[in-house]
């Protein structure tokens, strides 16, 4: 069983919990997820099965879409509503929709983020959340991320009693973006404490909410012997990658991981990124430019060395 599954992760579960349960449901060990979701966040979690695990990194490189809620008035150590409050700003005058929209618009494009302490980013071999839980501080690395769209999707709501203000948002972003940090930084731009108070991932790895299935639905598919109806081929992860089809004479070399010339793959010019190599309509390898050889390419990942239907 090889392929990619779009799982709808429910709240209260870690991404690893989902993998653990799927190993039991599908009766196989070779399963991995294509992008961590926090336990308190629900949404689309791409799952790679069998040979599909070889293309996990390409699913993770894709864009993501989230919807959620930002609340002004307090900040937490985890940057969401589940952490300890570390700062408060009483919102005595609610911000106008125009002020909020202007602040959010400033984050569209390539921006620099500092990942939250409660995150899986590694510094000196340890994850940031391990430092945080131990009460230790460490300098966090800055990272460049891309925000394609960041818009308000509801009217701002002002709670006069609690002196906080909230609104719903939708964000389309690239790899490595921390939406929690985006919420905090929006508050900073407005000059007040803020955090993310709700989040759902609507799309990831080319999958959207409409394609996703629950763990219960996967179990039912196994019971009814209909897993093939919900499992997409590993080629799905390569759909946005340039494709090259090879004939029999190159197949032996490609499956053995041989280096090739661009002309052998019928490439008129050297590719700027990875190229998916297909044989008999199946993806068998991924090649990339070899910096040590003029007009040469080397295998980035060998996907198949045998053809099931060949």
Active-site residue list:
38
- The DSSP bridge pattern shows strands 275-279 and 243-245 to be parallel
Count of residues for the chain? 310
DSSP 282: E
Of the candidates 174, 178, 206, 162, the one whose C-alpha atom is nearest the C-alpha of residue 71 is 162
Which of the 8 DSSP states describes residue 122? E
3-state secondary structure of 276: strand
Site of tokens 């090739």: 260
d(CA 258, CA 249): 13
The residues, ordered by sequence, that sit 6+ positions from 205 with a Cβ below 8 Å of its Cβ are: 4, 6, 34, 35, 44, 46, 59, 60, 62, 237
For residue 80, give the nearest of 227, 221, 182, 230 by alpha carbon: 182
**Could you give the maximum distance between any two Cα atoms of the chain, in Å?**
75
Exposure class string for 201-216: b at 16+ Cβ within 10 A, else e: bbbbbbbeeeebbebe
**Alpha-carbon distance 203 to 170, whole Å?**
11
């Amino acid at each position: 069983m090889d392929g990619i599954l779009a799982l709808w992760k429910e709240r209260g579960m870690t991404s690893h919990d989902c993998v653990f349960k799927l190993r039991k449901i599908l009766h196989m060990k070779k399963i991995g997820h294509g992008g961590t979701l926090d336990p308190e966040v629900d949404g689309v979690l791409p799952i790679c099965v069998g040979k599909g695990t070889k293309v996990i990194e390409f699913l993770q490189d894709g864009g993501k879409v989230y919807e959620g809620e930002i609340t002004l008035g307090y900040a937490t150590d985890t940057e969401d509503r589940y952490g300890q409050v570390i700062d408060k700003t009483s919102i005595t005058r609610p911000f106008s929709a125009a002020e909020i929209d202007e602040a959010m618009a400033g984050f569209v494009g390539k921006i620099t983020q500092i990942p939250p302490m409660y995150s899986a980013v590694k510094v000196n071999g340890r994850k940031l959340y391990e430092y945080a839980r131990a009460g230790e501080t460490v300098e966090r690395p800055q990272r460049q991320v891309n925000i394609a769209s960041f818009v308000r999707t509801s009217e701002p709501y002002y709670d006069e009693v609690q002196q906080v203000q909230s609104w719903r948002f939708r964000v389309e972003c690239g790899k490595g973006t921390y939406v929690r940090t985006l919420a905090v930084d929006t508050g900073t731009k407005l000059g007040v404490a803020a955090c993310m108070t709700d989040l759902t991932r609507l799309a990831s790895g080319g999958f959207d909410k409409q394609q996703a299935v629950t763990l219960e639905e996967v179990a039912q598919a196994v019971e009814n012997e209909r897993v093939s109806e919900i499992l997409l081929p590993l080629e799905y992860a390569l759909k946005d990658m340039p494709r090259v089809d090879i004939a029999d004479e190159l197949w032996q070399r490609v499956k053995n991981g041989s280096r090739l010339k661009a002309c052998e793959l019928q490439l008129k010019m050297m590719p700027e990124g990875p190229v998916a190599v297909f044989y008999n309509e199946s993806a068998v390898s991924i090649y990339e430019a070899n910096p040590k050889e003029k007009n040469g390419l080397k295998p980035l990942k060998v996907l198949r060395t045998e053809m099931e239907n060949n």
